[in-house]
Amino acid sequence: KQEVTQIPAALSVPEGENLVLNCSFTDSAIYNLQWFRQDPGKGLTSLLLIQSSQREQTSGRLNASLDKSSGRSTLYIAASQPGDSATYLCAFTGFQKLVFGTGTRLLVSP
Amino acid sequence: GAGVSQSPSNKVTEKGKDVELRCDPISGHTALYWYRQRLGQGLEFLIYFQGNSAPDKSGLPSDRFSAERTGESVSTLTIQRTQQEDSAVYLCASSPTGVGRELFFGEGSRLTVL
C-alpha cells in the first residue's frame, strides 16, 4: 500500500525566504506526482504535475522535483510571499487513484 | 462550465436523514473521483469512476454510502441515515482519459450533521 509522508507538517517563515517542502512515498510504481495547494475552506488547486518519466517541473516561483529511486519529491518556493500561505499537498497516482500526503501548512509572515 | 462544479456548497442536516451531493466534472473528463476531508485531516479516497468501467468503490466507509455516475457526466454521492461522523467536506475531482493525468478539484460540499 502506498504511504505518502510530508515533512514538515507546519512551517512558518518571514516573507522573502526560499523554502523547500518535502514529500516521500513508499511505492516507486507511480504514474505521476502532483502538488496542490489548499486554502482554508476551499478545494484543491493544482500547482504542478510531474509525469513519472520527468524529473522536475517549474511554474513561476515554484519548482517541483521527482526522484523515484529515493522515493522523494520536493516543492521549492522562491521568494515566498504572504499569499503563499496555505496547506500544500503532494499526491501520487499509482494504478488508479491519487494517494495524498497529509500536507504541510505554510504561513508566510509579512 | 470551465471547472468542476459541486452542489450544494453547504448542507446542514439532522442525524438519520439522507443527503445527496452532486458533482459536475469538466466536460470531456472521463475520470471522476470523490474524496472526503474531515476537519483538520487529510483527504480520504471514497470512490473512482473511469468511463464505462466498473467503479472502484474500495474507499466507501460503509454501505450507507453510495455513488452513481451517468456516462461521463454528472455524479451523485448519496449518504443514507447520516451520522455525526459523516460531517466533512466532500470533494470531487475529474481528469482526462488515462491514468496519471492531471486532477482538477471542485470547491467541495461541506456537510454538517447535527
Could B105 and A44 be called an inter-chain contact, meaning their C-beta atoms sit closer than 8 Å? Answer: yes
The shares of helix, strand and coil residues in chain A, as percent rounded to the nearest 5, are 5, 60, 40
Per-residue pLDDT reduced to its tens digit, B41-68: 888 999 999 888 889 898 999 999 999 9
Predicted pLDDT of residue B96: 85
Per-residue pLDDT reduced to its tens digit, A55-95: 999 999 999 999 988 889 999 999 999 999 999 999 887 65
Q: Which of B56, B99, B102 is opposite residue A34, by nearest beta carbon?
A: B102
> How many angstroms separate the Cα of A100 from the Cα of each of A20, A55, A105, B107?
18, 19, 14, 17
Q: How many CB atoms lie within 10 A of CB A50?
A: 18
pLDDT exceeds cutoff 70 at B98:
no
pLDDT exceeds cutoff 60 at B1:
no
Predicted pLDDT of residue A69: 86
B 48-67 residues with CB < 8 A to A: 48, 50, 56, 59
Per-residue pLDDT reduced to its tens digit, B71-90: 778 999 999 999 999 999 99
Predicted pLDDT of residue A26: 82
Of A65-69, A100-104, B65-69, B97-101, the range with the highest mean pLDDT is B65-69
Mean pLDDT of B26-47: 90
**Hey, is the C-beta of A54 within 8 angstroms of any chain B C-beta?**
no
**Hey, is the C-beta of A101 within 8 angstroms of any chain B C-beta?**
yes
Backbone angles phi, psi at B84, to 5 degrees: -60, -30
Above pLDDT 90, what percent of chain B? Answer: 68
Q: How many CB atoms lie within 10 A of CB A102?
A: 16
d(CA A19, CA A61): 11
Helices (H) and strands (E) in chain B, counts: 0, 10
B84, three cell numbers: 455525526
Contacts of B70 (CB under 8 A, 6+ apart): none
Per-residue pLDDT reduced to its tens digit, A25-66: 887 677 788 999 999 888 899 999 998 888 999 999 999 999
Predicted pLDDT of residue B70: 84
Predicted pLDDT of residue A64: 96
Between residues B88 and B100, which one has the greater pLDDT?
Answer: B88
Predicted pLDDT of residue A87: 95
d(CA B14, CA B114): 5
Q: From chain A, pick out residues whose CB is under 8 angstroms from the CB of B111.
A: none
Could A96 and B42 be called an inter-chain contact, meaning their C-beta atoms sit closer than 8 Å? Answer: no
